[in-house]
Amino acid sequence: MNPLRYTAFPTPNGGGNPAGVVLDASSMDAAEMLSLAGELGYSETAFLFPRTEREYAIRYFSPKAEVDFCGHATVAAAVALAEKQLGAGDVLLSSNVGEIPVAVAVGEHGLRATLTTVTPATAALEALPELCETLGWSAQDLHPTLPHSLAFGGLWHPILWARSRQRLARLDYDFEALRALMLREGWGTVSLLFRDSPALIHSRNAFPIGGVVEDPATGAAAGALGGLLRAADLLPEDGCFTVLQGEDMAQPCLLEVDTSGEGGVRVSGTARSIPAE
């Protein structure tokens, strides 16, 4: 099995979040997929199972476990399909959380994929005090008016807003304690944010359950965030905003989020093939 390697959500100047892609995993079982994801060492690898020419089942594995949904690996897989087999156009991916339509088009910086999440949801973040203690955040570190909440766009993510960009830049938490809390609560990542403006949000996503301290780009969390901001009426007039993630890791990533209309949230970005070493 020769997996493809792509980096998703790069900025025009580089960066991005690496993902593995297997275009036809029909012969693989879960143990083999987990083993391959561990060998690659990326936060997620996408495994595709062809159904029709433009319909696929998709599964995602981190080095530690299967993940029900992953945005950056979805973008990587859709661009890989377009480059290697299908060309630009629409593809329908059936994940563990439901159907994920993806549109791939030729853009200014190469192929650009736009995924649409399942219908988003929000819930109260009952574990906020415990989460803050685990992260080493005090009440003074939290933004006083933005909603600290749970948000869903395929996975549940706690959403915490930092009072300052400087606070967001400091990420030093108890890895095992946060991992245990996330497993107990069923969270996908922990989304830590600073709102520069309604149209520009800086993001960091802790991902210890995936075996890494931080994920450079998290499309699932960006989609969930879009649903939360739509529900809270905190969006620009056109319903669109940009998420900058991975900046503090020297892996800058650019995610464009469109919450206009109803139903799923659209998350867009490019992906580029990583040359073989």
Catalytic residues: 44
d(CA 127, CA 166): 24
Closest alpha carbon to 21 in 52, 49, 53, 51? 49
Pairing of strands 45-52, 212-215: unpaired
Provide the sign of the torsion angle of the four alpha carbons 204, 103, 274, 31, taken in this order.
positive
Backbone angles phi, psi at 230, to 5 degrees: -65, -45
Q: State the Cα–Cα distance between residues 74 and 91, nearest whole angstrom.
A: 11
Cβ contact 178:227 at 8 Å = no
Length of the chain: 277
> What one-letter code names the amino acid at 194?
F
Give exposure, 14-43, as e/b (b: 16+ Cβ within 10 Å): ebbbbbbbbbebeebeeeebbebbeebebb
